[in-house]
């Protein structure tokens, strides 16, 4: 009979543990409920003040953008649905698949061109928002020396490069490698790597992944933006790729053609570029506003 009791007690114990875990999480859930209870993602309402914007932004903006959005919410009351930070190519694919979007910011002119061709954004609203530099990073404690792009072939270990179809940083990296003959296609997208590095290139699905691969030591070097150094720990710049080696790195922004609040969306883009407090945030995260 005691045995029966013990087993029952264990049951009750397990149940209580589950309930406690639920209650613990519940405390915090309440606070975040307003943001979460927006229901389905494309929930941009049109009534007066309570506008919710859905922003699709290049992966490299993942840390800086939420702070600017918080600032915008504080000043205007406009809220934001969970912003998607993926490779720019993925974002355009996601929009093509039918995701509801108000503002699109990509990390290359090419991906924004694709969005324009697919009639996903309003071409009149397009504006170049940021400029960035392409750098080669290594772990902080690494002693890798790179003095030119040719040195990349001599580096031991894996090389993290964004998958060029989805990640503009990968495309810029491949263009740079093509300039020294390590990649076969000058446009940076449809070629193959030189045999000396081909089996060591780790294609990352976003520029952040490439940075994380280097930061955790899976790859010895990676091609990322200058600004990525400021959002991952344990990275240092070992080489800044000359701007001539790749097409200019600009971040175009535009209002999506499916936006239900194009005026608010446009206002947010202007805010990002003109507001001095927003500029302070971009500056801290190493983003340079385009001229």
- Which stretches of the chain bind other proteins, using CB under 8 A? 1, 3-4, 6-7, 9-11, 13-14, 17-18, 21, 25, 28-29, 32, 35-42, 62-63, 81-82, 84-86, 94, 96-100, 206, 208-209, 211-212, 215, 226-227, 229-237, 273-274, 276, 279-280, 282-291
Closest CB 122 distance from other proteins, rounded Å: 19
What sign does the CA torsion over 87, 89, 95, 99 have?
Answer: negative
CB of 6 to other proteins, least distance (A): 5
Measured in Å, how far apart are the chain's first and last C-alpha atoms? 81
**With 0-12 CB in 10 A as exposed, 13-18 as middle and 19+ as buried, what is 238?**
buried
Q: Given the complex with other proteins, which of 172 and 183 has the nearer CB atom?
A: 172
Q: How far is the CB of 233 from other proteins (least distance, A)?
A: 5
Q: Which is nearer to other proteins, 41 or 50 (CB)?
A: 41
Determine whether 18 is exposed, middle or buried from the number of CB atoms within 10 Å of its CB (0-12, 13-18, 19+): exposed
Q: Which is nearer to other proteins, 111 or 226 (CB)?
A: 226
CB of 181 to other proteins, least distance (A): 28
Q: How far apart are CB 83 and other proteins at their closest, in Å?
A: 9
- Choose between 63 and 194: whose C-beta lies nearer to other proteins: 63
C-beta separation of 129 from 273 below 8 A: yes
What are the distances in angstroms from CA 262 to CA 24, 254, 256, 269, 274?
40, 10, 8, 11, 18
Least distance between other proteins and beta carbon 278 (Å): 9
Q: Mutual orientation of helices 88-96 and 109-117 as an angle, nearest 10°? A: 10
| Complex with other proteins: residue 181 or 242, whichever CB lies closer | 242
Which two tokens mark 60? 């490299």
Rounded to an integer, what is the distance from CA 110 to the centroid of its chain? 16
User: To the nearest whole angstrom, how small is the minimum distance from the Cβ of residue 277 to other proteins?
Assistant: 8
Task: CB nearer to other proteins: give 101 or 182.
Answer: 101
Q: Which residues are 253's β-sheet partners?
A: 105, 127
* Closest CB to other proteins among residues 76, 94: 94
DSSP state of 154: G
Cα–Cα dist 15/31, whole Å: 25
Angstrom distance (rounded) from CA 227 to CA 249: 12
Q: Name the 3-class secondary structure at 42.
A: coil
């Amino acid at each position: 009979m005691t045995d029966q009791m013990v087993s029952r007690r264990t049951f009750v114990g397990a149940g209580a543990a589950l309930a406690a875990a639920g209650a613990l999480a519940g405390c915090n859930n309440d606070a975040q409920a307003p943001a979460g209870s927006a229901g389905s993602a494309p929930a941009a309402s049109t009534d007066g003040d309570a506008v919710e914007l859905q922003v699709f932004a290049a992966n490299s903006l993942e840390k800086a953008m939420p702070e600017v959005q918080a600032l915008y919410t504080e000043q205007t009351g406009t809220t934001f649905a969970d912003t998607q930070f993926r490779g720019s190519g993925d974002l355009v694919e996601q929009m093509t698949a039918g995701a509801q979007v108000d503002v699109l910011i990509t990390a290359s002119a090419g991906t924004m061109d694709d969005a324009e061709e697919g009639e996903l954004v309003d071409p009149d609203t397009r504006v170049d928002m940021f400029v960035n530099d392409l750098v080669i990073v290594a772990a902080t404690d690494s002693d890798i020396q790179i003095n030119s792009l040719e040195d990349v072939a001599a580096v031991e270990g894996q090389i993290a490069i964004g998958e060029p179809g989805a990640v503009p940083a990968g495309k810029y990296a491949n263009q740079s490698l093509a300039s020294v003959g390590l990649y076969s296609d000058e446009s940076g997208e449809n070629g193959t790597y030189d045999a000396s590095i081909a089996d060591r290139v780790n294609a990352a699905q976003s520029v952040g992944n490439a940075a994380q691969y280097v930061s955790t030591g899976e790859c010895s070097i990676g091609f990322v933006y200058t600004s990525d150094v400021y959002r991952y720990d344990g990275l240092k710049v070992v080489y800044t790729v000359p701007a001539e080696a790749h097409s200019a790195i600009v971040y175009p922004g535009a209002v999506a053609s499916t936006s239900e609040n194009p005026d608010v969306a446009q206002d947010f883009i202007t805010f990002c570029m003109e507001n001095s407090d927003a500029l302070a945030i971009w500056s801290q995260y190493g983003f340079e506003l385009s001229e």
